[in-house]
Amino acid sequence: DVKVTQSSRYLVKRTGEKVFLECVQDMDHENMFWYRQDPGLGLRLIYFSYDVKMKEKGDIPEGYSVSREKKERFSLILESASTNQTSMYLCASSNNGAGGEQYFGPGTRLTVT
């Protein structure tokens, strides 16, 4: 079974703090993704990566950066957390096969106070 793990299930941070969210997948997938999920808005793509050291902006990259130094690990960084970044953050991975279905981690619920 594909396993995608995220470093924290719940996180509380203060405004202005630098926040690191880490994601690890164990299936040698080429592609990794970071989404945020907010009620009524569904999932919105923040950043994604097709390969090690490669990154592409998604639909809402402002206020975020990412790092992919190893194939299995994809980190999301909030340089200076703000209250409007309070959300559920979901990591996913997929391979380049015909289906390309994404496999998701359990999510990190981040609260910025």
Partner 1 sequence: AQSVAQPEDQVNVAEGNPLTVKCTYSVSGNPYLFWYVQYPNRGLQFLLKYITGDNLVKGSYGFEAEFNKSQTSFHLKKPSALVSDSALYFCAVRGTGFQKLVFGTGTRLLVSP
Burial of 88 (0-12, 13-18, 19+ CB in 10 A): middle
User: Nearer to partner 1 by C-beta: 28 or 80?
Assistant: 28
User: Nearer to partner 1 by C-beta: 85 or 102?
Assistant: 102
Determine which residue in the list 25, 31, 75, 85 makes contact with partner 1, applying CB under 8 A: 31
Q: Any contact of residue 1 with partner 1 (CB under 8 A)?
A: no
User: Nearer to partner 1 by C-beta: 67 or 104?
Assistant: 104
Q: How far is the CB of 98 from partner 1 (least distance, A)?
A: 6
Looking at residue 83, its amino acid is T
Q: Any contact of residue 8 with partner 1 (CB under 8 A)?
A: no
Q: Any contact of residue 45 with partner 1 (CB under 8 A)?
A: yes
Asked if residues 34 and 89 have their Cβ atoms less than 8 Å apart, the reply is yes
Q: Encode 2-30: b = buried (16+ Cβ within 10 Å), e = exposed.
A: eebebebeebebeeeeebebbbbbeeebe
Asked if residues 43 and 35 have their Cβ atoms less than 8 Å apart, the reply is yes
Residues of this chain that bind partner 1 (CB under 8 A): 4, 9, 31, 33, 40-43, 45, 48, 50, 58, 90, 92, 94, 96, 98-107, 109
